Amino acid sequence: MPFLVAGLAASIVAIGLLFRLKRRDARRLAEKLEIAIDRHIDGLVRVRAQSVRFDAEGRLCSKEWQQEIERFLDSQLSSTLSARELRQLEARRARFVCLVADRVAAGVARLPVYQ
């Protein structure tokens, strides 16, 4: 019985460590993305301003902007990542697309022309 308890405790500790490592890796990846965004924020704001618009019926057209975010992730972030980080990026890509869109939207909101 003591071996069963020790094995169960070791399993719980191992699972906890695994989750901690995954959270740390995700945090590091998000930090790298933040650095890349900061480095290119002016260009991203300009591209967003040029590509997000409303059509004749008043519908928001943002497909070009979404494609630009994908290109940004592929060209500016992917080249700085390890194979493991690339797998994490692909697994959480939608989250990182939202992060880029939110950061750039905040940058656009700070510009006097949009206020």
Residue 37: its pLDDT value, please?
92
Residue 83: its pLDDT value, please?
87
Structural domain includes residue 82: yes
Structural domain includes residue 105: yes
User: What average pLDDT score do residues 5-30 get?
Assistant: 75
Structural domain includes residue 50: yes
User: How many domains does the structure of the chain reveal?
Assistant: 1
* pLDDT band (50, 70, 90) for residue 50: confident
pTM, two decimals, is 0.74
Of residues 41 and 111, which shows the higher confidence score?
41
Q: Which distant-in-sequence residues (6+ apart) come within 8 Å of 92 by Cβ? A: 26, 29
Structural domain includes residue 10: no
Structural domain includes residue 45: yes
Residues 100-115 have pLDDT tens digits of: 999 998 888 777 666 5
Domain that holds residue 71: 24-114
Structural domain includes residue 63: yes
